[in-house]
Structure 1
Amino acid sequence: MPPATPDVPPGTVPQAAPVTGAGDWPRDWPAGWQSALLVAVPAAEPAVAGHRARLDTSARDGVPAHLTVLYPFLPPSGIDETVRGALAGLFSGVPAFGFTLDRVRWFGDEVVWLGPGEPERFSALTALAFAAFPSCPPYGGGYDEVIPHLTVGDRGGLAAMRAAAAAILPHLPIEATATEVTLMAGPPPGDPDSPPGQWRRLAAFPLG
């Protein structure tokens, strides 16, 4: 994805819209909107928010620091009460868990990310969600291996991403707890025609 556009002030992250209750679930969704299941990591924001605002278009779009559980998920128009109930039941059977972000890693020279010391916990969430919704392979089935990660920069310029990685290192390890899986929806990430902050938090499914 291209770097965040300059209409977002440095060091800021657009805030996603609040959770939508079942009673006011939108009936009509813009064409092309996507959804995602993720574990937000508020504990990482002090270390990564400013860098993500400059280097990761998903931050511009209103997506918080996170590890992805399943993306792309169903189109928002296909997420009805039955689907939401299934997600609630699915994740309630998984105990909440603590984890540590303790490493900086790269996908080639294009993506810099933080990795959890316990990646298998997130891999298990992804496998669980994919098994329940087999029409939604992780990342569209584009990768042989899905590595749990928190993106700091995605094609944001190699020098800038290296500087971000160096700046984040002193903040590690970051201790966090996964207590819920969040459902979000919005336009395709990095869409230059969409204003900032369009991704919205639709629901949160507590872990058991």
Structure 2
Amino acid sequence: MRVPELEPVVRAWRDRLDPSARAGVPAHVTVLFPFLDESRIDSDTLAAIDGVIGRHHPFEARFEHFGRFPGVLYLAPEPDAPFRRLTEAIVSRWPETPPFGGQFDDIVPHLTIAQAPDDTALDEAEADLRGRLPVLVDVSSVDLMVHDGSRWRQRASFALR
């Protein structure tokens, strides 16, 4: 889901060190990746997604703390439970699409800032951004992004109700 309030805060680092930003992905917290191939997304699928997302209520999240995966710097939303519930709901409806292909045992909601092979660039980004936090966000929708082979674009948006 898009996090436009964080876009001006993280944009420069994402443009420099996050390949997804250069491919058209805005600042976001992923609900589920990978999802269905775009060829499987028809009006019935869009209605089903809307039904699943629509059972969740809008919420507020705070981005203040950094986290790391190997070679990745991210911001961790608090609370993270509403993000986890959205992922779990989509996976429950489409169990053939486990988060990150089933690569990881735990769902870790996060907003990727930078990817780098060594920690130096990640340390620099964290130090630069620390003074710009916290950022509070209102989460009221989930966007469906699709990839055309080189760029990502928004296909649909679903309101939390």
Instruction: Tell me whether the two structures share a fold, i.e. TM-score over 0.5.
Output: yes
Structure 1, residues 157-181: CA drift from partner, whole Å, max 9, x if none? 4322211111111111110011101
Which of 159, 162, 166 does residue 120 from structure 2 map onto?
159
Map of 2:80 onto structure 1: 119
Which of 173, 177, 182 does residue 143 from structure 2 map onto?
182
Q: Confirm whether residue 40 of structure 1 aligns to residue 11 of structure 2.
A: no
- The alignment's TM-score, normalised by the length of structure 1, stands at 0.75
**Partner secondary structure for residue 31 of structure 2:** strand
Q: Confirm whether residue 143 of structure 1 aligns to residue 104 of structure 2.
A: yes
CA 168–95 in structure 1, closer or farther in 2 if over 3 Å, else same = same
**Partner secondary structure for residue 25 of structure 2:** coil
Map of 2:129 onto structure 1: 168
CA positional deviation for 1:156: 5.8
Show structure 2 runs of 5+ residues with no match: none
Which of 94, 102, 107 does residue 69 from structure 2 map onto?
107
Q: Confirm whether residue 56 of structure 1 aligns to residue 1 of structure 2.
A: no
Structure 2 CA distance, aligned partners of 1:187 and 1:135? 21
Structure 1 CA distance, aligned partners of 2:88 and 2:116? 27
Q: Confirm whether residue 128 of structure 1 aligns to residue 128 of structure 2.
A: no
Map of 2:52 onto structure 1: 90
- The alignment's TM-score, normalised by the length of structure 2, stands at 0.96
Structure 1 CA distance, aligned partners of 2:93 and 2:134? 33
Structure 2 CA distance, aligned partners of 1:42 and 1:152? 14
From the CA coordinates, give the structure whose radius of gyration is larger: 1
Show structure 1 runs of 5+ residues with no match: 1-38, 189-193
Which consecutive aligned stretches of 4+ in structure 1 deviate over 6 angstroms post-superposition? none
Identity in percent: 37
**Partner secondary structure for residue 68 of structure 1:** coil
Paired residues in the alignment total 161
Structure 2 CA distance, aligned partners of 1:146 and 1:54? 26
Map of 2:34 onto structure 1: 72
